[in-house]
């Protein structure tokens, strides 16, 4: 889990990788935007950026300052990357706070949760959008003003991945998927994670949600983002880990030490304190051959702990 200077370095490297892809790919050449906001303010139902984008290129989409959102000008597959610094104390009394929402036209809202102070929640989202669609961030009415954190800014990036082809078949050298799976049982070690929810994006249909296997359709450079939000159920605790594998070989993994929810006596009552979920995320670049297989595997058996998995992949060049 990155924080402080190391987190900023990771964000900078990620932006450089994607921008390099924008410069070299035959697809990624029309739109890129990145906002690094050290002083944003958020109050119920409203979100306000306080700075202009540090990167803004192309005309496939437009950043609308008055609405703090993005208007889509060209049909295509877009990639959104968000980093939100946690602010809630890890021993807060009460229930789970409502999340920020990434709102995308004709696409289910995506939660951007508060994973607690000294942590970062990273969200990658792929969406197939059409002209005039709007992308924005909303704040739930249950939240009061959210303070800015100058040392750990809110980072919002958006890129056009592919244009929608004029001729629907074939989609020459386009392959991308975005899937989610909530409530993953992590009690069985060395098990493939499968039975995902229907993909929100599955260009080329190379991701099999029932087996959890993605099969590379072309030789090329691929990018994958894996985020797992670990949470304790009852008294569950321990180290949890999910591996990213190519052809059965582990290339990277996300892991975290999950803590149980404490109960602290106060007077004659027992107060249950809210323990924020722990979000771990990795971005992996892989040179793949046609037919290579990508899977996720639960590494460690841990009882009473569940994971919420978001898995995104796409052919970059």
pTM of the predicted model as reported, rounded to 2 decimal places: 0.78
The reply to whether domains 22-165 and 174-261+275-316 share a CATH topology is yes
Q: 270 pLDDT band (50/70/90 cuts)?
A: low
Residue 160 β-bridge partners: 78
- Kindly report, residue by residue over 170-191, the tens digit of the pLDDT: 557 899 999 988 888 777 788 8
Q: Which fold has domain 22-165?
A: Jelly Rolls (2.60.120)
Nearest to 258 by CA among 160, 317, 187: 187
Res 217: pLDDT: 95
Q: 245 pLDDT band (50/70/90 cuts)?
A: very high
d(CA 40, CA 48): 6
Non-local CB neighbours of 58 within 8 Å, separated by 6+ positions? 29, 30, 31, 32, 160
Task: Summarize the confidence of residues 82-88 as an average pLDDT.
Answer: 76
Nearest to 256 by CA among 274, 234, 281: 281
Residue 306 β-bridge partners: 185, 231
Provide the mean pLDDT of the chain.
Answer: 76
Instruction: Confirm or reject CATH 3.50.30.50 for domain 174-261+275-316, answering yes or no.
Output: no
Res 186: pLDDT: 77
Contact 239, 256 (CB under 8 A): yes
Among 22-26, 53-57, 133-137, 166-170, which is the least confidently predicted range? 22-26
Non-local CB neighbours of 34 within 8 Å, separated by 6+ positions? 15, 53, 54, 55, 56, 155, 156, 157, 158
- Concatenating the DSSP letter of every residue in 40-98 gives -EEETTEEE--S--SEEEESSEEEETTTTEEEE-S-EEEEEEEEEE--S-TTEESSPPP
Assign 20 to helix, strand or coil: helix
71/138: higher pLDDT: 71
Res 223: pLDDT: 95
Q: Where are the domains of the chain?
A: 22-165, 174-261+275-316
Q: Which among 86-100, 159-173, 186-200, 267-281 has the top mean pLDDT? A: 186-200
- Kindly report, residue by residue over 106-160, the tens digit of the pLDDT: 777 777 777 666 677 788 889 999 998 888 877 766 665 555 566 778 888 899 9
Residue 249 β-bridge partners: 246
């Amino acid at each position: 889990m990155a924080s402080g200077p190391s987190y900023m370095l990771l964000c900078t490297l990620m932006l450089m990788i994607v921008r390099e892809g924008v410069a070299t790919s035959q697809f990624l050449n029309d739109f890129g935007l990145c906002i690094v906001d050290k002083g944003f303010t958020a109050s119920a139902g409203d979100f306000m950026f306080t700075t202009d984008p540090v990167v803004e290129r192309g005309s496939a989409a437009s950043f609308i300052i008055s609405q703090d959102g993005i208007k889509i000008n060209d049909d295509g597959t877009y990639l959104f990357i968000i980093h939100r610094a946690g602010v809630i104390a890890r021993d807060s009394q009460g229930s789970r706070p409502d999340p920020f929402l990434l709102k995308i036209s004709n696409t289910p809202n995506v939660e951007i949760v508060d994973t607690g102070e000294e942590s970062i929640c990273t969200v990658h989202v792929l969406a197939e959008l059409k002209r005039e669609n709007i992308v924005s961030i909303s704040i739930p009415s249950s939240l009061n003003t959210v303070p800015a954190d100058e040392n750990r800014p809110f980072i919002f990036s958006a890129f056009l991945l592919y244009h929608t082809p004029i001729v629907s078949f074939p989609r020459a050298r386009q392959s991308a998927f975005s899937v989610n799976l909530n409530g993953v049982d992590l009690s069985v070690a060395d098990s493939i994670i499968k039975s995902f929810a229907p993909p929100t994006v599955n260009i080329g249909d190379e991701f099999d949600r029932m087996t959890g296997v993605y099969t590379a359709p072309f030789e090329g450079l691929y990018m994958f983002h894996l985020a797992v939000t670990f949470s304790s159920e009852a008294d569950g605790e321990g180290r949890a880990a999910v591996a990213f594998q190519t052809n059965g070989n582990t290339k990277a993994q996300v892991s975290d030490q999950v803590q149980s929810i404490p109960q602290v006596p106060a007077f004659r009552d027992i107060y249950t304190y809210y323990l924020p979920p722990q979000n771990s995320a990795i971005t992996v670049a892989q040179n793949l051959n046609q037919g290579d297989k990508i899977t996720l595997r639960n590494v460690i058996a841990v009882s009473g702990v569940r994971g919420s998995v978001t898995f995104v992949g796409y052919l970059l060049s």
